[in-house]
Structure 1
């Protein structure tokens, strides 16, 4: 009975009415975390093995040996928005581990001019206030080794909180699950996001909404829908480690990011679309890292309505010394906007190096 319930929870979302799904719900959760991973075009599903596995593939948490922490900060849309991530992980025993993380994506100090004009028709700038539009994700992950050799499994429960000033707010809840397998320097990973779909329920302040209902003349705005259901997504990864000389190590990985919708991805159909990503990491004695990656293969429409294939290159470097790893990535964390690239920094702490 237990296995039938699990199978039902996994399959049921694919049979729901497609009208209930939102193609771009909770998109901030697709940006990614950790400059080391972003420098590799997010191709880390099979190899992630530290505190940031809570996001990329919770199965990788089994690889940690002591307390670990991680912090990341990035600006978005030329500094208009801020994107922050913090995580902590620890082993429970030799076979299992626990991780928690918090993600915030927000735009602060937005001008609220809904009351700029008073009841007499006078403009009063003192009536302008400020508000924030912010998205939060709280994640708790558990991972352990399975009975089979070299097989790790992890699950991530997430709570999503979205706030648009005093106008509206929502709560959401969902699950991710991942598996990793390693044999003879080959690594395989599978990450299923929103496996039971992630459900968001909105509460709208109708009194505040009335103030902006007729903000655009002739466009009487209706209350938006109050529920969102995020479609499941899959990520498949295959990686291989190579020894280069005495001190150098090369890790390569290919990921397939699968969405169950038709899109501009390089491989697309009515059932699903696939966006590949390739990442490389060369390290010198696990001390200095050089990373390259190519991803986001998309067909874009030209001015003549023709199609052209675009790709996004990524670059990163890192330095690890006595349990402190600092990473930098040159990428575009949202693949949008006028700025072609973003500068991302992150830092990871491993407490095992500080123990006497």
Structure 2
């Protein structure tokens, strides 16, 4: 296992040091999927073991015993933006599995008023139209058990499609890799390396329509934005353990260290990398009802008086599972501890064993 960790760290370090262009894109791919995971503040890299592993750590797909389907919906910014996810996973044999998932994050029915006023200064409301801006992430996953007992690995191939009405669109491609390991005492460890080759987005912009939009403000045209974006690699390191009490009760505790190779407002930050911890737990009763909680997204936010204030994002969730059907709910940002808005997240997971 140590050799695999060294290889991943070396590859990520080399790739990060080579970047010199704009490095922020595809943030919608960092929101997360599955209300059960979100209720635990995303601290699931080490123990994820279902269809949603294709997102969190593809190595977990090897634990699938039957085909699974997962659906999730959430809304942001007072229901203006909608986030939808669908995932499917299946085992190939007793040592390997595959998965596919699709994420869409979009804002629909945006008013386009660039043609409201004609060349003669007349206002015509019939010239108002609508458009949508949407981001799509399609992921193909493969996982396999390694010869060392308890060690699994997985890889993702991602296709990114971003569309802003008829004004601009882009295509992107990237790769993820992950490993999981469980020792004899029940401790689980996981590493997820996102965008290990960096994820490139190449934009195609309609110059004529862009000039209409930019020229509509104070009558001055702006320069065209950059047509290439990259997403720099990120690393997630996790550990977890589950305890059983009196046969009916269980407690799962998990912790994550989320590493970004940049300096930002994370609680631990240097010029080379920043680290943001996340803690989560899940209390279960007879594998039927679940109560979840977690805390993460620790930020040192600078105030008006130049002082720093530590903020964090708590999360809460509940779940219910019965005969292969699992329904989960997560409520984020309780207590208004971060700048994000309150979000209600629902997800559904179906194990196809229910039909057999």
TM-score by length of 1: 0.94
1:195-241 CA-to-partner distances (Å, cap 9, x unmatched) read 00000000000111121122221653100000001100000001111
User: Residue 193 of structure 2 aligns with which residue?
Assistant: 192
SS of structure 2 residue aligned to 1:60: helix
SS of structure 2 residue aligned to 1:69: strand
Structure 2 unaligned regions, length at least 5:
none
1:87-113 CA-to-partner distances (Å, cap 9, x unmatched) read 000000000000000000000000001
Contact 2:37 2:44 in 1 (8 A): yes
Alignment of 1:133-144 (within 5 A): 133-144=133-144
Shift of 1:6: 9.3
Once residues 155 and 306 of structure 2 are traced to their aligned partners in structure 1, the CA distance between those partners, rounded to angstroms, is: 43
Once residues 118 and 187 of structure 1 are traced to their aligned partners in structure 2, the CA distance between those partners, rounded to angstroms, is: 64
SS of structure 2 residue aligned to 1:213: helix
The answer to whether 1:92 aligns with 2:95 is: no
Distance 1:141 1:35, change over 3 A: same
Deviating runs (4+, > 6 A) in structure 1? 5-9
Alignment of 1:114-129 (within 5 A): 114-129=114-129
SS of structure 1 residue aligned to 2:106: strand
Shift of 1:294: 0.6
Contact 2:297 2:313 in 1 (8 A): yes
Shift of 1:244: 2.1
TM-score by length of 2: 0.94
Structure 1 unaligned regions, length at least 5:
none
Deviation larger for 344-353 or 161-170: 344-353
SS of structure 1 residue aligned to 2:281: strand
Once residues 301 and 252 of structure 1 are traced to their aligned partners in structure 2, the CA distance between those partners, rounded to angstroms, is: 32
Q: CA RMSD in A?
A: 1.9
SS of structure 1 residue aligned to 2:212: helix
Alignment of 1:4-15 (within 5 A): 10=12, 12-15=14-17
SS of structure 2 residue aligned to 1:176: strand
Once residues 212 and 233 of structure 2 are traced to their aligned partners in structure 1, the CA distance between those partners, rounded to angstroms, is: 36
1:46-68 CA-to-partner distances (Å, cap 9, x unmatched) read 01000000000000000111110
Once residues 213 and 297 of structure 1 are traced to their aligned partners in structure 2, the CA distance between those partners, rounded to angstroms, is: 37
1:24-81 CA-to-partner distances (Å, cap 9, x unmatched) read 3100001000000000000000010000000000000001111100000111111010
User: Residue 58 of structure 1 aligns with which residue?
Assistant: 58
Contact 1:142 1:154 in 2 (8 A): yes
Once residues 87 and 320 of structure 2 are traced to their aligned partners in structure 1, the CA distance between those partners, rounded to angstroms, is: 19
Once residues 35 and 14 of structure 2 are traced to their aligned partners in structure 1, the CA distance between those partners, rounded to angstroms, is: 35
Once residues 163 and 80 of structure 2 are traced to their aligned partners in structure 1, the CA distance between those partners, rounded to angstroms, is: 17
Shift of 1:120: 1.6
Distance 1:338 1:7, change over 3 A: closer
Alignment of 1:71-86 (within 5 A): 71-86=71-86
Once residues 62 and 48 of structure 2 are traced to their aligned partners in structure 1, the CA distance between those partners, rounded to angstroms, is: 10
Contact 2:329 2:344 in 1 (8 A): yes
User: Residue 29 of structure 1 aligns with which residue?
Assistant: 29
User: Residue 353 of structure 1 aligns with which residue?
Assistant: 354
Once residues 202 and 336 of structure 1 are traced to their aligned partners in structure 2, the CA distance between those partners, rounded to angstroms, is: 32
Alignment of 1:166-315 (within 5 A): 166-183=166-183, 184-217=185-218, 219-315=220-316
Shift of 1:9: 6.2
Contact 2:69 2:86 in 1 (8 A): yes
Contact 1:70 1:349 in 2 (8 A): yes
Shift of 1:14: 2.0
Contact 1:91 1:97 in 2 (8 A): yes
